[in-house]
Amino acid sequence: KYHLNLMQDLVATQDNQLESLRNKITDLTCITDGILTWKMDDYKNMFATTKAKTSHEICSESFYTSRYGYKLGATVFLNGNGSGEDKYLSLYIRLLPGEYDNLLEWPFRLPITFTLFDQNEHFEKRVNIRESFLPDISWKHFQKPEKDSDALGFGYPKFISHVMLNTRNYIKDDALFIQIKVDTSKVIPM
Amino acid sequence: KYHLNLMQDLVATQDNQLESLRNKITDLTCITDGILTWKMDDYKNMFATTKAKTSHEICSESFYTSRYGYKLGATVFLNGNGSGEDKYLSLYIRLLPGEYDNLLEWPFRLPITFTLFDQNEHFEKRVNIRESFLPDISWKHFQKPEKDSDALGFGYPKFISHVMLNTRNYIKDDALFIQIKVDTSKVIPM
Amino acid sequence: KYHLNLMQDLVATQDNQLESLRNKITDLTCITDGILTWKMDDYKNMFATTKAKTSHEICSESFYTSRYGYKLGATVFLNGNGSGEDKYLSLYIRLLPGEYDNLLEWPFRLPITFTLFDQNEHFEKRVNIRESFLPDISWKHFQKPEKDSDALGFGYPKFISHVMLNTRNYIKDDALFIQIKVDTSKVIPM
């Protein structure tokens, strides 16, 4: 009995340690250069799951525009949402509360490009799908995000139609690649 | 009883694995570009703690000046130490024994800049506190660090007075940001 | 009994979580710039072990040529293999199946340089051992790697003789440093 109690404590401690490690790793993953190339494996299953539910959202890992920059996350609705529902893949980006927000300029003004890669093995035959936008700084999406607020996503309800997505090599080996690229070339490092 | 013993072994194994993961993550955190932007959350509590003890030191995560470069760590005494005791925040840097020390040039000669950021939301109104120095290579601080030696810190006992620290937006949302930047622009990569 | 069962489940869950964390960390380690500086600690013991077995291979951590690039791993036979057996240290590189292979160009064409560092404390006295090659794209080694295939290594069975390895400061504090550098300067980022 005595040993069992001791071990219960130890296992509980380990659980906390695991949680803390997971968070640290998530933070590490975030350190980046404003370019997230998001591989979505297991497309067929994920699409089936998302079709069965209404507005089923898949979130990317979050990432930073620079080591001490803005924190962002992308969101995909494989079966579409809003005006894209049932016929399109919808793709959004949102600002997340980041560690360095108080050091950064607001609203967020960096241009963002979404790319869906054509995985044709011949580079010259690839037709990537690409959409770019410049944040409209009057919109709520681009203000400093508040903790615990459910920030809105900005993007494309009709990013690509299901019909088109199944052409070419947008899906290959049951995986697709979406890249979110934040143009940080005009940011002056502190 | 049998099960319990088995599980004790398993839990002990897990404990070792957790320790090994923690070390790996600490090492990962280290990989950097010679710039550490250190966010100190929970300032009020930390200051109270540090005031209650004599010479209470807070250590930053350690970091490398490049992927295979020098290993450094910063140290803060919120309530000051030495000539800064009770009235100043003291800030130091020290060389730590690193994985690649035998590949590097000694003594350490890279210029270092400490910055305390003013978190004013308007960039043009910010008055950051900045101090730079060039290592004096005759000092013990900048020789190749030995394992298990308690390396000395080099820096500023009077980096900023408590009075000044509580002005402007040096502290905001109970957090302050200290940046340690090692100028690696003159290092020739191997 | 009831508690014990519960705890068994919890410990099993933790085991899975540990495994998942280990994999994530291995992936993180991989993110790099095509330069692996591999520190081999504990040389004497490792050499004794490798001498006792035939063709005992030591694998480096795997690494990527860029954040979303090719995945590679290096292999060392401290006691040599093939034509280098018993007299040389053999050094090889191999392509590993990577997350982004379907986005990349094949065969692999990037020049690779192996360096064994002389750890002489005076930089100007160092004589590093260096070998470079340009992949021969007709070779199987440089085609797109298949999952679960035991990819072949490409490199130097006679990278350095044991006699020479024990001269100068190739081994220092019982450690040696091997660098594998992939020249990515001609890669056009996507």
pLDDT in tens, C94-114: 999 998 999 999 999 999 999
Chains that touch B (3 or more CB pairs under 8 A): A, C
Structural contact between residues C64 and C31, judged by C-beta atoms closer than 8 angstroms: yes
Strands A58-59 and A63-64: unpaired
Q: What is the ipTM of this complex?
A: 0.82
Q: Is residue A74 scored above 90 in pLDDT?
A: yes
* Residue A177: strand, helix, or coil: strand
Residue of B nearest to C28 (CA): B28
What does each C-alpha distance from A110 to A32, A175, A182, A187 come to in angstroms?
A: 15, 29, 6, 8
Exposure string over C106-141, b if 16+ CB within 10 A, otherwise e: eebebebebbbbbbbeeeeeeeebeeeeebeeeeeb
- Asked whether residue A2 carries a pLDDT value surpassing 70, the answer given is no
pLDDT for B189 = 64
Q: What is the pLDDT of residue B1?
A: 61
What is the per-residue pLDDT for A157? 96
C-alpha C133/C-alpha C110 separation (Å) is 9
For residue B119, report the phi and psi dihedrals to the nearest 5 degrees. Answer: -90, 25
pLDDT computed for residue C82 by the predictor: 92
Cis peptide before B145 (omega within 30 of 0): no
Residues in CB range of B76: below 8 A, 6 or more apart: B40, B57, B58, B60, B89, B90, B91, B92, B178
Q: Give the residue, A63 or C158, on which the prediction is more confident.
A: C158
Question: Between vectors from CA B25 to CA B23 and to CA B31, what angle results, nearest 5°?
Answer: 110
Of A7, A24, A100, the CB nearest to B25: A24
Residue-wise over B142-165: b if at least 16 C-beta within 10 A, else e?
A: bebbeeeeebebbbbbebbeeeeb
C64 or C156, which is more confident: C156
- What is the mean predicted confidence (pLDDT) over C53-71? 87
Nearest chain C residue (CA) to B21: C22
Query: Is it the case that residue B2 has pLDDT exceeding 80?
Result: no
pLDDT value of residue B180: 96
Report which of C59, C84, C81 is spatially closest to residue C72, judged by C-alpha positions: C59
Mean pLDDT score across all residues of chain A:
89
Return the pLDDT at A56.
85
- Of the two residues A93 and B29, the one the predictor is more confident about is A93
Strands, E assignment, chain A: 35-40, 58-59, 63-64, 71-77, 88-96, 112-116, 129-133, 154-161, 176-182
- Distance between the two ends of chain C, CA-based, in angstroms? 58
pLDDT band at A190 (very low <50, low <70, confident <90, very high): low
The pLDDT value recorded for residue B154 is 94
Q: Is the predicted pLDDT of residue B166 greater than 90, yes or no?
A: yes
pLDDT of amino acid A31: 61
The least confident of A16-20, A46-50, A121-125, C56-60 is A16-20
CA distance B90 to chain C (A): 34
State residue A23's pLDDT score: 79
Question: C190 falls in which pLDDT band (50, 70, 90)?
Answer: low
| A14, A105, A106 member nearest B18 (Cβ) | A14
Please report the pLDDT score of residue A9 as a whole number: 82
Widest distance between CA atoms in chain C: 69
- pLDDT mean over A94-105: 93
Query: How far, in Å, CA of C95 to CA of C157, rounded?
Result: 18
Residues of chain A above pLDDT 90, percent: 65
**C132-180 pLDDT tens trace:** 999 999 999 999 998 876 777 899 999 999 999 999 999 999 999 999 9
Q: Considering only CB atoms, which chain B residues are within 8 Å of A14?
A: 11, 14-15, 18
| pLDDT greater at residue B147 or residue C130 | C130
Task: Provide the 10 A C-beta neighbour count for residue C152.
Answer: 13
Cβ within 8 Å, pair C121-B106? yes
Instruction: Provide the mean pLDDT of chain B.
Output: 89
> What are the chain A neighbours of C67 within 8 Å (beta carbons)?
32-33, 35, 37
Pinpoint the alpha helices (H) of B31-101: 43-52
Instruction: Answer whether residue B188 shows pLDDT above 70.
Output: no
Asked if the model's pLDDT at residue A70 lies above 90, the reply is yes
Asked if A68 lies within 8 A of B117 by C-beta distance, the reply is no
Do the Cβ atoms of C96 and C167 come closer than 8 Å? no
Residue B39's pLDDT band, with cuts at 50, 70 and 90, is very high
Residue A17: list chain B partners with CB under 8 A: 18, 22
Q: Which is more confident, C9 or B49?
A: B49
- Predicted pLDDT at B66: 86
Res. C185: pLDDT tops 80: yes
B/e letters for C8-20, b = 16+ CB within 10 Å, e = fewer, are bebbeebeebbee
Residue C14 has pLDDT above 80, yes or no: yes
Nearest residue to C157 via CA among C76, C91, C71, C70: C91
CA pair distance B153, A134, nearest whole angstrom: 46
Which of B6, B9, B61, B123 would best serve as a mutation to test chain A binding (most A beta carbons within 10 A)? B123
Rounded to whole angstroms, how far apart are CA atoms A92 and A148?
19
Mean pLDDT of A114-138: 95
Checking if the pLDDT of A122 tops 70, the result is: yes
pLDDT of residue C19: 84
Specify the DSSP element, H or E, that contains C154: strand C154-161
Nearest to B182 by CA among B75, B70, B62, B98: B70
- Burial (CB < 10 A; 0-12, 13-18, 19+), residue A185, is exposed
Q: Which residues of B touch A (CB under 8 A)?
A: 4, 7-8, 11, 14-15, 18, 21-22, 25, 28-29, 32-33, 35, 37, 39, 115, 117, 119, 121, 123, 169, 172-173, 175, 177, 179
Q: What pLDDT, on a 0 to 100 scale, did the predictor assign at position A89?
A: 97
Q: Could you give the percent of chain A with pLDDT greater than 70?
A: 94
B contacts of C21 (beta carbons < 8 Å)? 21
**What integer pLDDT is reported at residue B84 of this predicted model?**
95
pLDDT at B95: 94
Write out the two tokens for A6.
Answer: 């001791």
pLDDT grade for A88, boundaries at 50, 70 and 90: very high
When pLDDT is averaged across residues B148-166 and rounded to a whole number, the result is 90
Terminal Cα distance for chain A, rounded:
58
Residue A44: band (very low, low, confident or very high) from pLDDT cuts 50, 70, 90: very high
* pLDDT the model gives residue A162: 97
Residue C39 bridge partners (DSSP): C177
Q: What is the mean pLDDT of residues C109-123?
A: 96
